[in-house]
Structure 1
Amino acid sequence: MSKRAKAALASGLGLVALTATYLTEPWEDTKNLAYWDALGKVWTVCTGETKGVKKDDRYTDAECKEMLYETLEKDYHRPLQKCVKGFDKLPLSLQASLLDAAYNVGTGAICRSTAARRAEAKNYAGACQAVTWFNKAGGKTIRGLVLRREYGDANRMGELELCLEGVK
């Protein structure tokens, strides 16, 4: 039993706020000043925003949070609603885990995943477990992704930790 997952689910936050607060923001680095992401070869700001970002763009913490909420809703939640049958009827913790994973690996990967198929089949614990498989980059298992997908670390909750707490 995870006390921090239980507290997150008891917070009363909606899906996007819950995901942003307890999963996405803690795992993603938020920078208020635009920076050149050499890996993605694009200007980036806040919590990974790239659309329309230019050199020297600067945002407040509140603007970054609002940008993240809008991006999670429009670019990730709405597509998941379309590609995962019954998405909005899934347990909130599973929705949050899928939403955070989609933000990190893309909606296409989540829409085509075993996690999505298991969720549609109401195998919620199995769907939670399948999200953990998105732990590689460049074909190699990455410790940070293992932590994010599973039980987190001392300071951050993992997707599986939250997911399983809500499907009991």
Structure 2
Amino acid sequence: MSDNAIALRQSGVRWLWLALIIFLADIGIKFIVMENMGYGWANRIEILPFFNLLYVHNYGAAFSFLSDQAGWQRWLFTGIAFVVTGMLTYWMSKLPAQEKWNNIAYALIIGGAVGNVFDRVIHGYVVDYLDFYVGNYHWPAFNLADAAICIGAGMIIIDSFRHREAKSE
């Protein structure tokens, strides 16, 4: 085995298994939702006093950003996801596998990004199915991929504060 292969196995790319799990779980749940639920808010399933399952399409990005456009946004968001996925995978290759926090954060983002890219390429939209609300105010519907991306991004933000505090001590 070459030195490069050994170095890669000892790097953060070993955490890409987590990205694969997020991706497979996300597309699996989306498949179940698409096959078993009626489309739209009228077909939502009330689970808790603050949570529904539903099946809706999102042609945009977070919070349906640019969803009212003619379709070019599909390829813009796909391109952005590929660039971010490549960048994070590269960063993982430079981190040791033992650097769990950042490798997990990057893997969550990669898994979520690839899950949503899969939807954009195959369907032309992202399938959303989670609806949290308070009273009549509903948070924009989202999915497991979106949640993974947000958790990963939050972990990166928390890490930046942890390192800032460590440097000031």
The alignment's TM-score, normalised by the length of structure 1, stands at: 0.29
Return the structure number with greater relative CO, CA threshold 8 A, min gap 6. Answer: 2
More strand by share: 2
Q: Which has the larger radius of gyration?
A: 2
What is the TM-score when the length of structure 2 is the normalising length? 0.29
